[in-house]
Structure 1
């Protein structure tokens, strides 16, 4: 019989592949609803040998808690005291930013903008100054705007690397796998659904035509797509005002972090959809777009085209692009004002 310790570690073995490389991962917002379970999952990932947890308060407690888990990594918690943010970031290979306020009932991701934009911009400045070569994973919503904010901040400091800035849209991917399995009565772990576009509402475009279930009835397909696009609302409603998607988002963040680390360590054929500085629709004014990318030692190794898709998906992408233009511009405009205040 497995020991309790072995059962715990094996239960998360998808995040626990041994690696000969040593990686420092920093989590900014580690004491939050996403940050705490994300920190747990990262502690269980054997690619992570140095885990730095930062928050305005409570991060040392989270660090002490997860440090007792018997995996081969060190964990330290930091607060703003004693230049804690800079210390947490120094030498980091991957920085993950889940910091921000959660959605409440009736709130869209865009409603979160003013508060979360300021938080993300301030953290981006710290990353630029202390770990400019790190891969940066943005979870803080609205991702369609916060990723451009980080890009603009990094540009202002002369350290922007488009190959190493990722908007985490993985939650849409795992939701799609789960929801389509419920419709098709299949194993969700076997379902592969490519989700492109952005990370809010109609900007989320699941490419059902590229799955084994492309011929499902139209009414079923329409309901499935709507649920994937607005799955976060289910959680907000079910939590009755007490929070938004945190556990599923932490799982998605841990998966994306693991894939980025796998790419950095030289593993082959690591592909994930992610919201990045993307050439696919740049000629149309869409600077950022989520599409599948192959990850490598330098971050994004290859950006994949969407290939042949169904007519209804082309219509969805057209609508998504118009919304994305506004979301991206909103982030750019905010950053201009933010940086002006820093001078």
Structure 2
């Protein structure tokens, strides 16, 4: 996937595929999964194959795609599965796609930050975006490839160069931060419940499936900002709990990387988060508006071009940016501190495209 963008586009052109389509269908949604044979891609493909809203699941990778597709095609759900391998088949994978999910790239290893992945993964996202711009410019693009704070601006700049950029259609998937926050909050409150009498409200707060935690900012380190003041159902935290829970959420990815001891990074939880966000995009396309946190082009916070907040999804992608809402003084400090770091990440992504 690291071939130059021009080579990928030329390969697509040489394959004799028909002219660019701008289909954006709510009747039979096509989801393209780029990086389908990887550590995230395989479990993500499994979850997408089981999504009853997906009519066509197109799998793309540089190797091993036919085996993954054959395996998934034996599952008794209605989504049609197609396999696409290598640059010559990328165009067909994304053509007519309504949603394109991109987990392609290399995983983190112990001692690495998301930023350490930049050079390899930046080139992958740039090259994929160049073909998407030609083959499916109206698709909703969900980027999982790290560092998300930089890869979203990279994809955006490529689409701008091609004259097809729509800020409402490009997303950085930060759902994993939300999923982790909800799991950790529920775990903490469940533990506390063993030493106190339950109330009905308290009991609800202990159920991970009913706990909602907005996470704003970005998708790396200090830019990950869980809004514990806005947890639903309403949940009280001591200052000590907030001081411990916040950095755990921010560093949760490293927790998994270290636990896997060189065998990879978060794959199963990321697959769940990616499938959940892809489902939300498809529901939006079908007119079922819903709210998710996502890293998008946004004016929600002054002084930074991209920021994750709750957004309302609909047929056109982002229908409304809902902003950060009322935050605590502690959270506001975190937001303020995240802006310079995000600007550095964004500038690095933009410079990568303009310099290549």
Q: Is the 1:53–1:78 contact (alpha carbons within 8 Å) kept by the matching residues of 2?
A: yes
1:289-343 Cα offsets, whole Å, 9 max, x none, are: 00000100111111102221100000000011110000000000001112xxxxx
Whether the 8 Å contact between 2:217 and 2:308 is mirrored in structure 1 is yes
Residues 124-273 of structure 1: pairs in structure 2 closer than 5 A: 124-185=129-190, 186-211=206-231, 212=233, 215-268=236-289, 270-273=290-293
8 Å CA contact retained: 1:21, 1:47: no
Structure 1 CA distance for aligned equivalents of residues 258 and 250 of structure 2: 15
Normalising to structure 2: TM-score of the pair?
Answer: 0.87
Shift of 1:213: 5.7
The answer to whether the aligner puts 1:331 opposite 2:352 as a matched pair is no
In 2: Cα distance, 1:280 partner to 1:302 partner: 11
C-alpha contact 2:311 2:323 (8 A) present in aligned 1 = no
Given the alignment, which residue of 21, 38, 43 partners 1:37? Answer: 43
Give distance in 2, aligned partners of 1:273 and 1:184: 23
Which of 298, 307, 312 is the matching residue for 2:325? 307
CA distance in 2, matches of 1:259, 1:56: 27
Aligned to 2:32: 26
In structure 2, the partner of 1:108 is 113
Match of 1:66 among 72, 86, 100: 72
Measured on the aligned residues, the alpha-carbon RMSD in Å equals 1.2
Deviation string 1:176-227 (CA, Å, 9 cap, x unpaired) is 0000011111111111000000000000000001125653221221111111
SS at match of 1:48: coil
Partner of 1:8: none
Distance 1:39 1:215 in 2: 38
Shift of 1:21: 2.0
Aligned residue in 1 for 2:123: 118
Structure-1 residue corresponding to 2:93? 88
TM-score by length of structure 1 reads 0.90
* C-alpha separation in 2, matches of 1:220 and 1:135: 38
Displacement of 1:20 after TM fit?
7.6
Contact 1:120 1:150 in 2 (8 A): yes
Distance in 1 (CA, whole Å) between partners of 2:256 and 2:318 is 31
Deviations 1:230-253 (A, max 9, x none): 101111011111000000000000
Of residues 285, 288, 303, the one that matches 2:306 is 288
Q: What SS class does the counterpart of residue 128 from structure 2 fall into? A: helix
> Which structure 1 segments of 5+ residues have no match?
1-18, 339-343
The aligned residue for residue 57 of structure 1 is 63
